[in-house]
Amino acid sequence: MLVADGLHKSYPNRRVLRGVSLSVSPGEMLGVVGPNGSGKTTLVRLLTGEESPDAGEVRLDGRPLSDWSQRERARRLAVLPQEGLPSVPFSVREVVEMGRHPHQGFWPWAGVRDRQVVERVLQQTGLQADRDRQVNQLSGGERQRVAIAKAMAQGPRVLILDEPTTFLDIAHQLGMLDWIRSWGQKEGVAVLIVLHDLNLAALYCDRILMLKEGTCFAQGTPSDTLTPDRIREVYGVEPVLTQHPVTHAPQVLLQPGGGDANLPKPAVLFPS
Ligand SMILES: Nc1ncnc2c1ncn2[C@@H]1O[C@H](COP(=O)(O)OP(=O)(O)OP(=O)(O)O)[C@@H](O)[C@H]1O
């Protein structure tokens, strides 16, 4: 469904991605993890066509991404950017309806089918009661749910999410990931999700791609990828790995004092 082959990307004086390859199949969830600055968001920008690689290629449904018109691409690929949904003065229903624009003609008027899809999505995401509320009056977590609903209304074959759980409490993190996973499996949507939380990645992703300084350091099942050696080498922390008692997924326990050794130790700034 979505394939990337040997992606390279540099900015002035900075090589950000060096030969990253990946593929995501229908119904599969691929997690992308890696430290700050390892190139996750840059990878997302190349996969969505927001930026072009210096070398390598992204293919959607077997065709180079650059061959798709913007409209065709939007019918197949939905993106939840890191900054989430802007705080716009539109109602929840209007924003979800915007997800249908790529399927509409020259005039973006909602037809019968568009209205049916929007109603179904509002129902399935539990947003019926909030349908007339203004998005700029919603909490961060509620806005995130509207963003997912808009992406669902788009009816994509590929969904790309960049750290969608950052502003959510634990119940909303689990709720959102449960939702995305079961929706992706039912509809055969290929999901690529950037996550900072290795434990959530281990619980929800079929496979994990671990980036280190713009290279693909490891790729495989959570148990293959999240090993103490790899986490130590990529993040520079001393992890304790355990197994989830119910799901048996690997889980990472953190210990104080095991953080970034390169950070200077705090000194007294204002001695008395
Ligand atoms: N437009 C740009 N111009 C120059 N450098 C950039 C640009 N975008 C990103 N970078 C640099 O590329 C590197 C990778 O950035 P990127 O945002 O892809 O990392 P990330 O893994 O998503 O980080 P984080 O976890 O902090 O969000 C960083 O060093 C960043 O400063």
- Topology of the domain covering 2-76+156-254: Rossmann fold (3.40.50)
Cβ–ligand 1 distance for 42 under 6 Å, the answer yes
pLDDT level of residue 134 (50, 70, 90 thresholds): very high
What separation in Å is there between the alpha carbon of 83 and the centre of ligand 1?
14
Neighbours of 83 (CB within 10 A): 9
**Range of weakest confidence among 34-38, 85-89, 129-133:** 85-89
Give the per-residue pLDDT at 105.
Answer: 63
Give the per-residue pLDDT at 272.
Answer: 79
Per-domain boundaries in the chain: 2-76+156-254
Residue 104 vs residues 113, 116, 237: alpha-carbon distances, Å? 10, 14, 50
Most confident of 50-59, 84-93, 134-143, 263-272: 50-59
Helix (H, G, I), strand (E, B) or coil at 64: strand
Main-chain phi, psi angles of 5, to 5 degrees: -125, 110
Residues 200-214 have a mean pLDDT of 97
Cβ–ligand 1 distance for 225 under 6 Å, the answer no
Give the count of alpha carbons within 13 A of 129, CB side only.
3
pLDDT level of residue 191 (50, 70, 90 thresholds): very high
8 Å CB contact between 24 and 192: yes
Neighbours of 38 (CB within 10 A): 22
Cβ–ligand 1 distance for 10 under 6 Å, the answer no
Main-chain phi, psi angles of 92, to 5 degrees: -55, -45
What separation in Å is there between the alpha carbon of 126 and the centre of ligand 1?
35
What separation in Å is there between the alpha carbon of 125 and the centre of ligand 1?
32
Query: What is the rounded distance in angstroms from the CA atom of residue 267 to the CA atom of residue 87?
Result: 40
Of 38, 163, 215, the one to substitute when testing ligand 1's pocket (max ligand atoms within 8 A of C-beta) is 38
Query: What is the rounded distance in angstroms from the CA atom of residue 161 to the CA atom of residue 148?
Result: 9
pTM of the model as a whole: 0.89
Residue located nearest, by CA, to atom 6 of ligand 1: 11
pLDDT level of residue 141 (50, 70, 90 thresholds): confident
pLDDT level of residue 74 (50, 70, 90 thresholds): confident
Query: What is the rounded distance in angstroms from the CA atom of residue 25 to the CA atom of residue 19?
Result: 20
Give the per-residue pLDDT at 108.
Answer: 59
What separation in Å is there between the alpha carbon of 11 and the centre of ligand 1?
9
What separation in Å is there between the alpha carbon of 39 and the centre of ligand 1?
6
pLDDT (tens digit per residue) in 164-180? 888 788 988 898 899 89
Neighbours of 56 (CB within 10 A): 18
User: Quick one: what percent of the chain has pLDDT higher than 70?
Assistant: 94
What separation in Å is there between the alpha carbon of 117 and the centre of ligand 1?
36
Contacts of 223 by beta carbon, 8 Å cutoff, 6+ apart? 249, 250
Reported ipTM: 0.96
Of 15, 32, 41, the one to substitute when testing ligand 1's pocket (max ligand atoms within 8 A of C-beta) is 41
